[in-house]
């Protein structure tokens, strides 16, 4: 059967850099850091005392009090970004066939704060099980696609994807493939994460995964810098409306880009450490290019996973050189995590949205906080250090990888009819 073509027709973002798509894009282009001391809890005793939090977010501006109270921040972020994407798509909700609209949503962890608070409440009691009846529905990470379907009446495919930090790229990939196969006309996809709490910081600190640069939070996320010392935890949500091309054309939708293809692979190596030769991520980029049916030389920009961890960053760059050969020197490469921090399960969605800015505005968002070259990284590569670069962009690739050895890569192209 002939696969249908899939385009992006709506975008929503709630990020540490801005609480909507345009503010997010503007901050990315300016090279702003979203990191600051933690405000969610008293982090005095924690090794890491900063994060990239969502700022000035009042859920009651978007949700009624009764609704908001029954949602973990993870779901609140998803509802707000999802709503922005639906409005942005210009879809007439009275006219479309809602049986053919799905929601596929990623999160690495889900209602982490709800889980932590309920268990702490129990632990502090006398042993009587006094759990809130909303504990389970607030905690489970698939509640976000459920809530979005309830809000809009979308009755098509509806579920969540989980692959740690690759979760929302897996959601996008599934959305792409379900529409290609004709299982839905439109899928609202993306992901959310809200892990800035005692357990999140404490847990990642215990793994030595987080930067501990407490004297300079805004320069802590420094992918590809010699002195990088771990990732900076971020939070928020990104949402994309993926739509079958003819469906989008028939309603005169604004088309941001075409989703050309996506790859998936596993490292099959270690629970958290990347494969030393980057075999799994070479495989995933090749799979994505093959699925998109394009030559590697067509790619103009790669938005990397680039978390600012010592091993991960250099491994990914070497993998890019294996996949693209000499063309790697022509590509712009950048890690927007230098600005947003690491949004875990929402990373794929917000980084796809950053990649779409490169296509839409012809601006490559930078890798900020570059101070010292890493001798292990080829200096001839253009890692878009410190300042955005202008460039005509036709094809972008966005990579995300997750604990467990999950690898994903998505390719977007300018829609040319």
Name the residues annotated as catalytic.
Answer: 165
Overall residue count recorded for the chain in this entry: 417
Q: Calculate the CA 109 to chain-centre distance.
A: 13
- Cα separation, 103 vs 191, in Å, equals 11
CB of 133 to other proteins, least distance (A): 4
Collapsing DSSP to helix, strand or coil, 263 comes out as strand
- Whichever of 130 and 270 has its CB closer to other proteins, that residue is 130
Collapsing DSSP to helix, strand or coil, 232 comes out as coil
CB of 146 to other proteins, least distance (A): 14
- Whichever of 65 and 380 has its CB closer to other proteins, that residue is 65
What values do phi and psi take at 396, rounded to 5?
A: -125, 150
- Cα separation, 295 vs 283, in Å, equals 15
CB of 264 to other proteins, least distance (A): 37
Contact 343, 51 (CB under 8 A): no
Contact 404, 165 (CB under 8 A): no
CB of 137 to other proteins, least distance (A): 7
SS in 3 state form for 305-330? CCCCCHHHHHHHHHHHHHHHHHHHHC
- Whichever of 130 and 249 has its CB closer to other proteins, that residue is 130
- Whichever of 64 and 94 has its CB closer to other proteins, that residue is 64
- Cα separation, 127 vs 114, in Å, equals 19
Contact 167, 106 (CB under 8 A): yes
CA angle 98, 101, 106 (to 5 degrees): 140
- Whichever of 67 and 212 has its CB closer to other proteins, that residue is 67
Nearest to 348, CA basis, from 197, 176, 207, 212: 176
- Whichever of 68 and 298 has its CB closer to other proteins, that residue is 68
- Which residues here bind other proteins, judged by CB under 8 A? 64-66, 69, 130, 132-134, 137
- Whichever of 137 and 348 has its CB closer to other proteins, that residue is 137
- Whichever of 41 and 135 has its CB closer to other proteins, that residue is 135
CB of 79 to other proteins, least distance (A): 16
Nearest to 237, CA basis, from 81, 357, 102, 109: 81
DSSP assignments along 22-69, one per residue? HHHHHHHHHT----EE--SS--TTSS--EEB---S--GGGTS-HHHHH
Contact 15, 56 (CB under 8 A): no
Collapsing DSSP to helix, strand or coil, 133 comes out as coil
CB of 219 to other proteins, least distance (A): 43
Q: How far is CA 163 from CA 74, 105, 251, 297, in A?
A: 16, 12, 34, 29
């Amino acid at each position: 059967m002939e696969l249908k073509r899939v385009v992006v027709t709506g975008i929503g973002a709630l990020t540490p850099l801005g609480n909507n798509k345009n503010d997010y894009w503007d901050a990315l282009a300016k090279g702003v850091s979203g990191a600051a001391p933690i405000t969610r809890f008293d982090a005095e005793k924690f090794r890491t005392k900063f994060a990239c939090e969502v700022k000035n977010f009042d859920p009651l501006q978007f949700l009624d009090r009764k609704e908001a109270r029954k949602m973990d921040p993870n779901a609140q972020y998803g509802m707000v970004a999802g709503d922005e994407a639906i409005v942005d798509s210009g879809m007439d909700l009275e006219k479309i066939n809602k049986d053919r609209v799905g929601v596929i949503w990623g999160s690495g962890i889900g209602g982490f704060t709800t889980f932590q608070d309920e268990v702490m409440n129990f632990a502090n009691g006398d042993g009587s099980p006094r759990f809130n009846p909303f504990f389970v529905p607030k905690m489970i990470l698939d509640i976000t696609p459920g809530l979005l379907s309830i809000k809009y009446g979308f009755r098509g495919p509806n579920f969540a994807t989980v692959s740690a930090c690759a979760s929302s790229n897996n959601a996008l990939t599934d959305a792409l493939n379900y529409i290609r196969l004709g299982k839905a006309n439109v899928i609202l996809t993306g992901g959310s994460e809200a892990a800035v709490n005692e357990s999140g910081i404490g847990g990642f600190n215990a793994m030595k995964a987080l930067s501990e640069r407490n004297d300079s939070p805004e320069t802590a996320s420094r992918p590809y810098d010699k002195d990088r010392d771990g990732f900076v935890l971020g939070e928020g949500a990104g949402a994309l409306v993926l739509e079958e091309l003819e469906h989008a054309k028939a309603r005169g939708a604004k088309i941001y880009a075409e989703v050309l293809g996506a790859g998936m692979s596993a490292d099959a190596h270690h629970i958290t450490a990347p494969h030393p030769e980057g075999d799994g991520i070479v495989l995933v980029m090749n799979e994505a290019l093959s699925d998109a049916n394009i030559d590697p030389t067509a790619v103009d920009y790669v938005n990397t996973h680039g978390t600012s961890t010592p091993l991960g960053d250099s491994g990914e760059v070497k993998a890019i050189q294996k996949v693209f050969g000499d063309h790697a020197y022509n590509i712009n490469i950048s890690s927007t995590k230098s600005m947003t921090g690491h949004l875990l399960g929402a990373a794929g969605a917000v980084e796809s949205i950053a990649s779409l800015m490169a296509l839409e505005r012809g601006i490559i968002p930078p890798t900020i906080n570059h101070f010292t070259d890493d001798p292990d990284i080829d200096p001839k590569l253009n890692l878009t250090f410190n300042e955005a670069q202008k460039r005509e962009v036709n094809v972008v690739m966005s990579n995300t990888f997750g604990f467990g050895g999950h690898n994903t890569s998505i390719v977007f192209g300018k829609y040319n009819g």
